[in-house]
Amino acid sequence: MKRIGAIFLIFLCCTLLALPVFAESSASSVESAATITSQGNCQMTLKFHLSLEESTSQLVFPLGDNVKQLTVNGAKTRLRKIDGVPSAVLSSDGGFSGEMDFLFTYTITGCVSPKTDWQLRLPILSGLAYPISDLQFTITMPGTFTQTPLFTSGYYGADIDNYMTVSITDGVITGKVTTTLKDHETLSMTLDTDPAMFPRNHTAGVTLTIDKIGILACLAGAVLYWILFLRWLPPRIIAQPQPPAGYTAGELSSRLTGRKTELSLIILTWAQLGYLTIHISHDRAVTLHKLMDMGNERSAFEQKTFQALFGKGQVVAATSGRFGSLNRQVAESTAGLSGQFTPKSGNPIWMRFICLLAGLFAGVAIGDCLAAPGASRYILLALLGLAGLGCCYLLQKSIYSFIKPFRFLLPLSAAATAFLLGLGVFSGCLLYSLGAILAQFLAGIGTMFGGQRSAAGKQTVQQALGLRRYCKTVDRKQLHRITRQNPDYYYDVAPYALALGVDRQFASRFETMHLPPCGWLVSDFPQKTVPAQWYPLLREVVRTMQGRQPSRLPSDPHSSKKDSPSRIYAGSRR
């Protein structure tokens, strides 16, 4: 009997200790209104009325997973994970007490989708820390249905049906719990739905799977194409102080990259060899003055080009219409590329094109995540797809032009890359953007030297990269020794350094060393004799001859259709 009495006393004490908990705080009512959209999301509204007899500085409202765009009493609120459950945490220095009302609005994403086998899974109550005496809910579906909803609670399980009244009218489910729910109670509803109720044609994320597969396919396809048709092992690079013998700076650039021949760089080599002089006036007008004829000491390609340039006079304006036409015809000629690539070499353009498609897929994925539901969203998808394509084009071209005389719009390509990354972060598609950017690096680096090289082509690359390394790394003591033997050494190598994209680095290796004036580039104004101050003039001359600056030069008076470069180079096109 004493043991029974002791047990009863303990039970009575526990009961008395528990009573204040229920007296201190209770939820007199909870109203839940859920609207299921045709995209499978849920727009949720929760109204809590709490009776708090004692003040508390913090209230926790568990809401569950996939909650977005949460507001409490009209103010945006962040979620925090409490015991592993995303919850709204409200704090007040003055404390919460008495009769209080709270209005929650938020969106639950992915309530019903192919991932859930088209079963609606909706949390109505996610475990409030207070008992609930009155719970009412309304669930509006996007259409009518015939299936029976199933309700489950954390305490009663499936038997919660015995303590509820539920009615269904035209796709609207209304219900009320007829018993008091204990603290931390949960209530959820599941409903098997018809997929036709949730069409996926105009919803966010429809193309993401295709875009992901597309980007991965582009990466794999580019790598496979390079292995099969463009692959070659890079040669061992040994620094060498002299340019390769036998061809000009313009041909060196073309043979190294597999792209167009630069007439302006060819002219620099001719000037350095003594065939002509280049004159730049006060207003930066560039003219070419012939000094001697070119014989068979130079290649047939150079002889033909030289004759076309000075065929009607000893002086040629470097930006005349005739000069521009000759420049285009030289760029289309493949004479400098003969024997540089194997017969089975693929075309680098195909690899670049495959990688550009990754940018298109990334842009479409970003647009898919950003565009609002509806048929008009495809306009944004198309625009962002083209934007992704354009950004990747700028990035790719700037990468494989890294060893060219002039970088291709580096600030613009950097801004385009940042824009693509920013869109990726903002839309939640960062991996898609990174995949597209990786593809452009593969294309730029993989096609930087053209296609699959022959033995002669490998030797060309080895010599060109050896000179490029030397221009970037030669020390001043060695340059002092060379210039004592050849004072014009810098001017002899400068055209090739410019062709390889290292003219600035090469000039800086001379530091403040003064050289004699350049004999083949003359001007109406005093020239600098320090290479670091002289090389910008050489760049300006080349840019003018390439038509990169506004044409301010008089037209060539000797120009005529009869001797136009298109006639001279009719048989030199690819």
pLDDT above 90: percentage of residues in the chain: 53
- Whose tokens are 């005739």? That residue is 322
Q: What is the pLDDT of residues 410-437, one digit of tens each?
A: 888 899 999 999 999 998 899 999 999 9
Query: What is d(CA 304, CA 179) in angstroms, rounded to the nearest whole number?
Result: 101
Confirm if 439 and 358 have CB atoms less than 8 A apart.
yes
Cα 468 to the center of its chain, rounded Å: 30
Identify which of 352, 338, 571, 337 has the alpha carbon closest to the alpha carbon of residue 441. 352
Query: What is d(CA 352, CA 393) in angstroms, rounded to the nearest whole number?
Result: 9
Q: Give φ, ψ of 69 to 5 degrees.
A: 55, 50
Query: What is d(CA 191, CA 193) in angstroms, rounded to the nearest whole number?
Result: 6
Task: Determine the average pLDDT of the residues in 145-164.
Answer: 92
For residue 225, what is the enclosing H or E element? Answer: helix 208-225
Residue 233 DSSP class:
P
Predicted pLDDT at 564: 40
Identify which of 211, 212, 213, 191 has the alpha carbon closest to the alpha carbon of residue 40. 191
Query: What number of CA atoms fall less than 13 Å from residue 185's CA on the CB side?
Result: 23
Between residues 418 and 258, the one the model is more confident about: 418
Those residues with Cβ within 8 angstroms of residue 47's Cβ, 6 or more apart along the chain or in another chain = 29, 30, 31, 32, 101, 102, 103, 104
Q: What is the pLDDT of residues 52-71, one digit of tens each?
A: 888 888 899 999 888 988 99
Helix extents (H) in 298-376: 300-310, 321-332, 348-370
> Among 22-36, 376-390, 552-566, whose mean pLDDT is lowest?
552-566
Name the token pair of 65.
Answer: 């997973």
Identify which of 199, 198, 218 has the alpha carbon closest to the alpha carbon of residue 141. 198
Confirm if 405 and 494 have CB atoms less than 8 A apart.
no
User: Which amino acid makes up residue 108?
Assistant: I
Predicted pLDDT at 16: 40
Identify which of 31, 29, 59 has the alpha carbon closest to the alpha carbon of residue 45. 31
**How far, CA to CA in Å, does 501 sit from each of 17, 36, 505, 544?**
84, 61, 9, 17
Q: How many other β-carbons are positioned within 10 Å of the β-carbon of residue 459?
A: 14
Residue 139 burial by Cβ neighbours in a 10 Å radius (0-12, 13-18, 19+): buried
Task: Provide the β-strand partners of residue 523.
Answer: 280
Helix extents (H) in 374-429: 377-400, 410-427
Does the reported pTM lie above 0.75?
no
Task: Determine the average pLDDT of the residues in 102-126.
Answer: 88
Predicted pLDDT at 360: 96
Residue 114 burial by Cβ neighbours in a 10 Å radius (0-12, 13-18, 19+): exposed
Predicted pLDDT at 17: 41
Position 278 pLDDT exceeds 60: yes
Predicted pLDDT at 562: 42
What is 543-567 written as a DSSP string? HHHTT-S---SPPPTT--STT-HHH
Position 11 pLDDT exceeds 60: no
Task: Determine the average pLDDT of the residues in 106-110.
Answer: 89
Q: Is 333 helix (H, G, I), strand (E, B) or coil?
A: strand
Predicted pLDDT at 130: 86
Confirm if 216 and 435 have CB atoms less than 8 A apart.
yes
Number of H helices, E strands in the chain: 16, 16
Query: What is d(CA 277, CA 289) in angstroms, rounded to the nearest whole number?
Result: 5
Query: What is d(CA 213, CA 193) in angstroms, rounded to the nearest whole number?
Result: 29
pLDDT band at 45 (very low <50, low <70, confident <90, very high): very high
Predicted pLDDT at 549: 55
Confirm if 109 and 180 have CB atoms less than 8 A apart.
no
Task: Determine the average pLDDT of the residues in 205-227.
Answer: 93
Identify which of 258, 187, 181, 237 has the alpha carbon closest to the alpha carbon of residue 447. 258
Position 10 pLDDT exceeds 60: no
pLDDT band at 546 (very low <50, low <70, confident <90, very high): confident
Query: What number of CA atoms fall less than 13 Å from residue 205's CA on the CB side?
Result: 11
Q: What is the pLDDT of residues 442-485, one digit of tens each?
A: 999 999 888 899 989 999 999 999 999 999 999 989 999 999 99
Q: Is 263 helix (H, G, I), strand (E, B) or coil?
A: helix
pLDDT band at 265 (very low <50, low <70, confident <90, very high): very high
Considering the chain, what is the average pLDDT of its residues? 85
Position 32 pLDDT exceeds 90: yes
Residue 6 burial by Cβ neighbours in a 10 Å radius (0-12, 13-18, 19+): exposed
User: Which amino acid makes up residue 30?
Assistant: V
Predicted pLDDT at 226: 95
Those residues with Cβ within 8 angstroms of residue 481's Cβ, 6 or more apart along the chain or in another chain = none
Position 558 pLDDT exceeds 50: no
Predicted pLDDT at 375: 66
Position 250 pLDDT exceeds 50: yes
For CA atoms 9, 11, 15, 18, give the dihedral sign.
positive
Q: What is the pLDDT of residues 116-134, one digit of tens each?
A: 888 999 999 988 888 999 9
Position 166 pLDDT exceeds 50: yes
pLDDT band at 568 (very low <50, low <70, confident <90, very high): very low
- Whose tokens are 């409903």? That residue is 191
**How far, CA to CA in Å, does 263 sit from each of 252, 330, 367, 542?**
12, 6, 44, 9
Predicted pLDDT at 401: 78
Identify which of 26, 14, 211 has the alpha carbon closest to the alpha carbon of residue 134. 26
User: Which amino acid makes up residue 142?
Assistant: P
Name the token pair of 343.
Answer: 């017969």
Confirm if 163 and 151 have CB atoms less than 8 A apart.
no
